A and B are shown apart, each in its own frame.
Chain A
Amino acid sequence: MIQTRALTRSFRIKKGVVEAVRGLDLSVSEGELVAFLGPNGAGKSTSLRMLTSLLSPTSGTAVVAGHDVVREPAQVRRHIGYLGQGNNAGHLYEPRDELYNQGRFYGMDRRAARRRADELLTDFDLAPMARRRVGSLSGGQRRRLDIALALVHRPRLLFLDEPSTGLDPQSRAHIWQHIRRLHELHGTTISFSTHYLEEADQYAGRVLIIDNGRVVADDRPERLKEQQASDCITVTTGDEESARHAATVGEQVPGAHGATVDGKTVRLRLGDGAAGLPEYLRALEAAGVKALTAELSRPTLDDVFLNLTGRRLRETAAEQESGEA
């Protein structure tokens, strides 16, 4: 569905050049659900905008839905659905009118466009708001409408730029329910960008971690976590002396990558935490160290990001926000 080769895009700005995307090589097959995960400014939107023909690449090629984005943008547009980072629906309009207009934009006749609009209003639980002004809808309702607009022509390939950013957890879950249904029921190929690692982890079959315009990792989320990060056992002891002792014991546990001590707490990194935990506790007991609490945590994509870039995704996002303020 998507093939790109060395796709790059730079922007000229007052103080030089921003290389927003530096060499994207990507191949997405039919039916995949791919996440573009990265901090603010990583180049997610720029990548999606090149793939949807909104932005011409500085160099490289991209074939989307069988058509070259530069040479045949009209063909590409016919076959894809796109949800931008902004709002798809005009604020002065009513949802039903915009869905109807969108149908007309894709060449449907009036009746078909009206029928499709009503269908989507029902599908996305928007029927009660069909005649309200878009500007007066809640963030979650508006985002559902935006997605519905991207689906009017039943595209087989969908690009969603931050579909759930800025929404409360409940609305986010609701949005994702719709996106997953689309993927499971119709086999729609979906690429979405996000900076919520839970979303990429939970919903995507494949995650591209993007940092500074480059793809730094590309795999199934489970495999990324397996390969790029480790489980962590946290044990607390009665005093610092025992904690240090516990760390030395921990390093002997098979599969352990190392232990760190922080006051009365020991953190032990290891490959398979579920098997390692009972083993570690037995070893501690044998060594006469009393563990007060023990906790196992599985790695997150944040740990993967940390391992790959030396920064945390959450910190990077926070830094950027304070930098912009």
Chain B
Amino acid sequence: MKTVTDTGIAFAREMVPELRAPIALAVNAVLPLLFLALFGPLLTSTPGIGEGSPWQWFLPGILVLLALSGTAGAGANLLMEINSGSFERMLVTPMNRTALLAGRTLKEVLTLAAQGVLLILVLLPTSFELFPLGALAGLVLLATFGVGLGALSFTLAVLARKQEQVFYLVQQACFLPLMLLSGVLLPMSLAPSWLYTVSRFNPVAHIVEAERALFAGRFAEPAVLYGGVCALAIAGLGLFFGARVMRDVRV
């Protein structure tokens, strides 16, 4: 019970600067729109993205890209707080330590979901076709993935607190291959067969494919199952490691 209340309190603390400084909110909103505006037009002539609106194919990819570029970087903020001392102050309070991390993760996930909703709203007047249930399931899947990425990013920040550059190195080293091998921007089916095979080992690729199926209103597909399992596994790993490092953390 205390974990839940404390998560709420930690979450509220994270939200305050966002609400106080609309700049942060604006940046979070502009970024996905930028992706949309700059990548979208390239897609109209891309083969392999199926019939219908290219947005249908592209939106799920952007959502995952947002998670990879935004949520996965959430640890940077924590790193700053660790180095300034404000995180240490929180560790000396009676706050549940897992909740300190969960509250932060929750804020990241909420930001991500809000970006998703914003993108859907922006696309509504276009040829994009909305399947409400599918879109909802897609957002839930995205949020699950976000929980895992956020928690892993915070875990990494705590582990790398003594050498900040390690955080950025690891984050970049994971981001690039995960993104390039996920087919968020180009269909993996266009890739040579060896690359395609490699991409089968990338959980993010499965999540992207699940998102595409869901946003097209198709639930009964193996892709949805694989993607769901991958997202759940990442979330589970993130929460497990996150709770563990928080329990033993010595700043």
A residues engaging B (CB < 8 A)? 52-56, 74, 77-78, 80, 82, 84-94, 97-98, 101-102, 104-107, 149-150
Contacts and interface: CB of A to CB of B under 8 A. Distances in A.
Given A87-B85, A101-B12, A104-B13, 9 more contacts: A53-B92, A54-B92, A86-B86, A87-B86, A90-B84, A94-B20, A97-B16, A105-B94, A105-B95
Given A87-B85, A93-B16, A101-B12, A54 B93 contact: no
A88 B94 contact: no
Contacts of B92: 52-54, 77, 80, 82
A149 B13 CA distance: 14
A110 to B, nearest CB: 10
A152 to B, nearest CB: 9
Contact of B86 (A52, A55, A74, A88): A88
Contact of A54 (B16, B94, B251): B251
Contact of A106 (B20, B86, B94): B94
B85 A85 contact: yes
B91 A54 contact: yes
Nearest to B248: A56
Interface residues of B, number: 23
Contacts of B91: 54
B15 to A, nearest CB: 10
A84 B9 contact: no
A210 to B, nearest CB: 21
B93 A55 contact: no
Contacts of A101: 9, 12-13, 16
A93 to B, nearest CB: 6
A150 B95 CA distance: 14
Interface in B62-92: 80-81, 83-86, 88-92
Query: By CB atoms of chain A within 10 A, which of B84, B88, B89, B91 has the most?
Result: B89
A106 B93 contact: yes
A150 B88 CA distance: 12
Nearest to A79: B94
B250 A84 contact: no
A106 to B, nearest CB: 6
The 5 A-B pairs at the shortest CB distance, nearest first, are namely A86-B85, A105-B93, A90-B86, A88-B89, A82-B92
A86 B250 contact: no
Contacts of B9: 101, 104-105
Nearest to A107: B94
B91 to A, nearest CB: 6
Given A94-B20, A101-B16, A84 B89 contact: yes
Contacts of A55: 250
A275 B104 CA distance: 66
Contacts of B20: 94, 97
A117 to B, nearest CB: 13
Query: By CB atoms of chain A within 10 A, which of B20, B80, B93, B251 has the most?
Result: B93
A169 to B, nearest CB: 23
A86 B87 CA distance: 10
B84 A93 contact: no
B94 A93 contact: no
12 contacts: A54-B92, A86-B83, A86-B85, A86-B88, A94-B20, A97-B17, A97-B20, A102-B93, A104-B13, A105-B93, A105-B95, A106-B93
B90 A105 contact: yes
Nearest to B89: A88
A95 B203 CA distance: 42
